Amino acid sequence: MDRARALAMAVDESRQWDRLMELARIGAIPGDGVNRQALTALDRAARRLVIGWAEAAGARVSVDAAANLWLRVEGADPTAAPVVTGSHMDSQPAGGRFDGIYGVVAGLEVLSGLHDLGLTLERPLEVVAWTNEEGSRFAPGCMGSMAWAGRRPLAAFADITDAEGMRFGDALAEHLAAESDLPRRPLGGRLHAYIEAHIEQGPRLEAEGLDIGVVTGIQGSRWFNVTITGASAHAGTTPVSLRRDALQAAVRAIQSLNELMADPSDLLRFTVGSLTVEPGSSNSVAGRVRFTIDLRHPDRALLTERGDAVEGAIRRAVGPWVEVALVESFNAPPLDFDKGIVDSIVAAAEALGSRWTAMPSGAFHDAQLVASAAPAAMIFVPSHDGVSHNPAEFTSAAQLAAGTRVLAAALASHTKVSN
């Protein structure tokens, strides 16, 4: 544990906090929030800051075909599979200062600590910033980690458009051109261990007075895009009986989904978070409505059963007068993290005297995708009032540093080539 403890003690609480606050100015919105969408100029500006800090810590920077950004400090054995940490730098449209970016800055803090100590680990240590985790500009989320893990080919995302009609493929090409000074590395590869630090985004750690959540797994998620097409018509002259009103149909569809998803145990999470109406005019009957479904549950069978029932429930609710198209854009089954990595986080938390608990994650994370290609687990730090995906998201500098110390020690425990 000596090397692990030294690396943990090298975590500089103020440096980490100052970096987070500097990054939070890029895309700042009222109320201390951040709106920094994937593959935008703001995203690139934030990445340049991170690159500067990483280079000052002696890291080599590279980017892969999905624009995942990699910061690598060489190990004594450069041929050994690296130990990797990281998260994402994009935010929700009305996001906070910590979701995702904390995991990247925490990794950077470990690299900086290593540099301050003048230490060389046996294995290489890498920090990765995955592209488009939130899925708020281009849906679904976790595109960078999904493509890296080979769960879906990058080309499958190319024609997905943002709200302005920009194709993901074009945004990615523009982004990679702006980063053409950075060396390219292949998409995919061998990782020895992956540990992602993240804010909890829920109330439990704070309520229980704990420092660390040792994340044992992630509940499953399914995303659907629903399009209901009727016919736009004059609101004053078209009798209701003759209308093919897409919005009235969508209301019936969502009501019937609420019934389908009713769960007395309150474990199932069902969200319609986006709904657009065309033509979107007071005196026109709606001709087309698009809405999203975000469905989550820890039980694979239940998630499969409810998700598979969505299309039928919608069709029965809307009747024959409108058309329904449904596309499933994301399906990440529930997952248990690697026991060896989980145990190493517990050992690090114990050695550092942190108050910890084992817990599952309600949010999805890049680690969920990485876990299909490498042993992985996560570390949570408390979220004040459990608030996240909201400008008011808050974790104190001391709580963030405590999480990074556990991260540093846990990463260090995997850097021996013999283990």
Nearer to ligand GLV, 197 or 322 (CB): 197
Q: Is residue 307 a contact point for Mn ion (CB under 5 A)? A: no
Kindly state the smallest distance separating residue 369's Cβ from Mn ion, in Å: 13
Nearest CA to 408 out of 351, 348, 354 is that of: 348
Nearer to Mn ion, 33 or 100 (CB): 100
The residue within the footprint of ligand GLV, chosen from 102, 138, 224, 364 (CB under 6 A), is 364
Q: Is residue 99 a contact point for Mn ion (CB under 5 A)? A: yes
Per-residue exposure over 156-192, b if at least 16 CB sit within 10 Å of its own CB, e if not:
ebeebebeeebebbebbeebbebbeebeebebeeebb
DSSP 321-379: TSEEEEEEEEEE--EEPPHHHHHHHHHHHHHTT--EEEEEESS--HHHHHTTTS-EEEE
Closest residue by beta carbon to Mn ion: 100
Task: Give burial (CB, 10 Å; 0-12/13-18/19+) of 148.
Answer: buried
Structure tokens at 354: 């942190």
Kindly state the smallest distance separating residue 364's Cβ from ligand GLV, in Å: 4
- Whole-angstrom distance, CA of residue 215 vs CA of residue 359: 5
Structure tokens at 306: 């409810």
Kindly state the smallest distance separating residue 93's Cβ from ligand GLV, in Å: 12
Kindly state the smallest distance separating residue 59's Cβ from Mn ion, in Å: 22
Q: Is residue 356 a contact point for ligand GLV (CB under 6 A)? A: no
Kindly state the smallest distance separating residue 363's Cβ from Mn ion, in Å: 6
The residue within the footprint of ligand GLV, chosen from 83, 363, 379, 381 (CB under 6 A), is 363
What are residue 186's phi and psi, to 5 degrees? -65, 150
Q: Is residue 100 a contact point for Mn ion (CB under 5 A)? A: yes
Q: Please give the DSSP secondary-structure letter assigned to residue 265.
A: T
Structure tokens at 264: 């007395």
Q: Is residue 403 a contact point for Mn ion (CB under 5 A)? A: no
Sites for ligand GLV among residues 83-142 (CB under 6 A): 134, 141
Binding site for Mn ion (CB under 5 A): 99-100
Binding site for ligand GLV (CB under 6 A): 134, 141, 363-364
